[in-house]
Amino acid sequence: NKSNVYECWLNYKHLPHNFDDEYKRFCSYIVAKSNPPIINSALEELKFAFTRFMGRMPEVLDSYPDSDCILVGTLDDAADEALRVSRGDLPEDGFMVHKFERNGKNVLAVIGKNEKGALYGVFHLLRSMCCGKPLAQVQGIDGPRNPLRVINHWDNLSGDIERGYAGKSIFFKDNRIVSDLSRVKDYARLLASVGVNGVAINNVNVHQVETRLITDEFLPDVARIADVFRQYGIKLYLSINFAAPVEIGGLPTADPLDESVKKWWRDVADNIYKYIPDFGGFVVKADSEFRPGPFTYGRNHAEGANMLAEALKPHGGVVFWRAFVYNCQVDWRDRSVDRAKAAYENFKPLDGKFLDNVIVQIKNGPMDFQIREPVSPLFGAMEKTNVAVEFQITQEYTGQQKDLCYLVTMWKEVLDFDTYAKGQGSTVSKVVSGSLFRMEYGGVVGVSNIGDSKCWTGHPLAQANLYGFGRLGWNPELSAQEIAEEWVKLTFGHDKQVVDTIVSMLMASRDIYEKYTAPLGIGWMVNPGHHYGPNVDGYEYSHWGTYHYADWKGIGVDRTVATGTGFTAQYREPVASMYENIETCPDELLLFFHHVPYTHKLKSGKTVIQHIYDTHFEGAEEAEGLKEKWLTLKGKVDDEIFDMVLERLEMQIKNAIEWRDVVNTYFYRKTGIDDIHGRKIYK
């Protein structure tokens, strides 16, 4: 029996009050008229869950019993039922849940448009049952809003994970693929339960050994992983090295327009599909942070991406081409370069030049996964290109799974952001789903936060971020609060105090983290390299292009058109003017867009310096408050989880205090301005 912390939100141990009345009678018999692999996964899940619910195994039959039952299948399986639903009624990979009567018995039908739809329907039903949703609300039609919902792993074959805070890789060890894939299967269940349909298993920084993942040496083992994911409707992707033709192919060039290079990649693709007939495609980091790319040959990103896309096209594969491209060799003395502008400058001119099976994968912000950034202006600029948004589930800059930081609130803001690309209401969510510009592909990508840690995510409460990534990708209209509530009920049960306490901790956590770290949207201020803990000038004179320009009078980056780098012009109106104008620029992003004196008054009425002091004192105090809240749950949540979380909260408090004192002291020394409340600042 696996521990609670391992089973995550699929433990099926916490039944709500309405279970007996509404659901119990369906949990003894399951009817399935066919049993292909993905339906089989759905049936396994139902059997597992119902056994937990009822204390005994349900029977799976291929015809109706003389009792109430569940029917699971695709539209074909349900053809003879009076369900009055046709293919056109169901969204792609969608499903219908519907109760009907048959010979005086109740049948609760979960009917997928295809096998995947049926699997998603089953997870929807199980989630709803465990959350205590009334059956009437569970019925109906649903489907994913985003065609692609993909996890990117930054796992290396050594087993190390770049920016991983939850142990080692579950796929790789000692430069091989692990032999026992049972944990991968449990992972596939977790992902499928929240609708994820793709996984890239290796790091976008593709090093020497990983370059060979696309060869016969590794493909048989890669295929074993793909086999596990396939049963859960998840496609496997690989990150590739753009220089592979040179590094492992023996060619003198990797020029994307060279015929021998094109042929090399075609052969590679053909070979991959022999092992993995439904291979998803490639993820590519090119010409970014020292990774090779088309620039070496005087070619652009579209030429690079299209060459790979052509190789995959005959097999139905796609290329995720990352837009995280910028000059990481900047001279800090040179004030003309603004890293925030880079993605737009590189990609906007190429809009319309990418083949239709290329997806440009854009980080949510223009910099790099800071706790507060504006939304990347590139989302409003690519009208003729498939795009996806990349979120970082792994908490590189947001507390490294030591500090609690529920990121769904932030992602929700990003998806709801209005680009005005086709007038009001042109949200990022509509851009990436493909609906705004009628693109075929698009969706959400999340950088994984899991490893072989006992609870998968290092911090047990960080499971909520993986859960939330999937749920939001499925339906961006869900609120961060709803998602948190679901996750807490599924994981911890229905005790009101438990639910209220943990939900409130999650919902407050992003603000708390923001308060004690870098202020007002400026970002960074972290220790270089590993990126944990405060170091206000850590990147101030570095080549990475991440500056705050604090001097004794003021702080912030002037990104206006009038007097600064001109970044604001990358947005459409009225967004561009909102950020350009210091009067309308929201406080939380003030220092991202403007350089202001410390005495500048915010909309809150506070000066910038006083805001810095206040938020840092409050943030550290609120971090302590998280621990106090958690302590009230002793004995009400699983002991092991209780202890693991407590240990993390203590680390967070230490970190918050360090941030508070370093940041406050730094700005006191820069300005000589006292805290008006006279609190302790180490001078």
Phi-psi region of 474 (alpha: psi -120 to 50; beta: other; left: phi over 0): alpha
Residue nearest to ligand GCW (CB): 368
DSSP 324-342: ----S---TT-TT--GGGH
In the bound state with ligand GCW, the residue whose beta carbon lies nearer, of 154 and 598, is 154
Cβ atoms 644, 402 nearer than 8 A: no
In the bound state with ligand GCW, the residue whose beta carbon lies nearer, of 204 and 656, is 204
In the bound state with ligand GCW, the residue whose beta carbon lies nearer, of 274 and 530, is 530
* Single residue of 133, 149, 163, 341 touching ligand GCW by CB under 6 A: 163
Going 552 to 553 to 554 to 559, the CA torsion angle's sign is negative
285 is a contact residue toward ligand GCW (CB under 6 A): yes
373 is a contact residue toward ligand GCW (CB under 6 A): no
CA distance linking residue 253 with residue 243, whole number of Å = 8
* Single residue of 175, 205, 296, 581 touching ligand GCW by CB under 6 A: 205
418 is a contact residue toward ligand GCW (CB under 6 A): no
β-pairing, 148-152 with 176-177?
A: unpaired
SS3 content of the chain, % helix, strand, coil (to 5): 40, 15, 45
* Single residue of 44, 81, 160, 162 touching ligand GCW by CB under 6 A: 162
Residues 1-60 that bind ligand GCW (CB under 6 A): none
All residues at 6 or more sequence positions from 492 whose CB lies less than 8 Å from its CB, including other chains? 14, 498, 499, 502, 637, 638
CB of 307 to ligand GCW, least distance (A): 21
Residues 608-627 that bind ligand GCW (CB under 6 A): none
In the bound state with ligand GCW, the residue whose beta carbon lies nearer, of 232 and 324, is 324
Give me the residue label for tokens 């075609």: 266
β-pairing, 281-284 with 386-392?
A: unpaired
In the bound state with ligand GCW, the residue whose beta carbon lies nearer, of 45 and 368, is 368
CB of 343 to ligand GCW, least distance (A): 12
In the bound state with ligand GCW, the residue whose beta carbon lies nearer, of 160 and 495, is 160
CA distance linking residue 253 with residue 670, whole number of Å = 52
Q: Residues 7, 155, 221, 368: which is the catalytic one?
A: 368
CA distance linking residue 311 with residue 305, whole number of Å = 10
Tell me the number of residues near ligand GCW by CB under 6 A. Answer: 11
CA distance linking residue 36 with residue 446, whole number of Å = 29
396 is a contact residue toward ligand GCW (CB under 6 A): yes
- Structure tokens, 467: 């859960």
CB of 402 to ligand GCW, least distance (A): 17
Q: Residues 287, 310, 396, 558: which is the catalytic one?
A: 396
204 is a contact residue toward ligand GCW (CB under 6 A): yes
CB of 369 to ligand GCW, least distance (A): 6
Q: Is the peptide bond before 574 cis (omega within 30 degrees of 0)?
A: yes
Cβ atoms 393, 400 nearer than 8 A: no
Residue 289 known to be catalytic: yes
Q: Residues 62, 76, 217, 289: which is the catalytic one?
A: 289
160 is a contact residue toward ligand GCW (CB under 6 A): no
Residues 289-308 that bind ligand GCW (CB under 6 A): 289
* Single residue of 12, 23, 154, 264 touching ligand GCW by CB under 6 A: 154
Nearest to 664 by CA among 643, 642, 683: 683
In the bound state with ligand GCW, the residue whose beta carbon lies nearer, of 148 and 526, is 526
Residue 642's SS3 state is: helix
CA distance linking residue 119 with residue 138, whole number of Å = 15
Cβ atoms 166, 460 nearer than 8 A: no
Give me the residue label for tokens 């049948």: 107
247 is a contact residue toward ligand GCW (CB under 6 A): no
CA distance linking residue 7 with residue 136, whole number of Å = 28
CB of 392 to ligand GCW, least distance (A): 7
In the bound state with ligand GCW, the residue whose beta carbon lies nearer, of 197 and 361, is 361
Cβ atoms 411, 391 nearer than 8 A: yes
Residue 396 known to be catalytic: yes
CB of 545 to ligand GCW, least distance (A): 12
- Structure tokens, 148: 């692609």
- Structure tokens, 597: 């004196």
CB of 253 to ligand GCW, least distance (A): 24
* Single residue of 7, 142, 368, 558 touching ligand GCW by CB under 6 A: 368
CA dihedral 650, 651, 656, 657 (to 10 degrees): 70
In the bound state with ligand GCW, the residue whose beta carbon lies nearer, of 143 and 458, is 458
**Other residues' Cβ atoms within 10 Å of the Cβ of residue 208:** 11
CB of 203 to ligand GCW, least distance (A): 6
In the bound state with ligand GCW, the residue whose beta carbon lies nearer, of 275 and 532, is 532
CA distance between the termini of the chain? 55
CB of 291 to ligand GCW, least distance (A): 8
**Other residues' Cβ atoms within 10 Å of the Cβ of residue 669:** 12
Nearest to 41 by CA among 10, 15, 68: 10
Residues 318-347 that bind ligand GCW (CB under 6 A): 324
CA distance linking residue 599 with residue 609, whole number of Å = 7
CB of 396 to ligand GCW, least distance (A): 6
Binding site for ligand GCW (CB under 6 A): 154, 162-163, 204-205, 285, 289, 324, 368-369, 396
The residues assigned a catalytic role are: 289, 368, 396
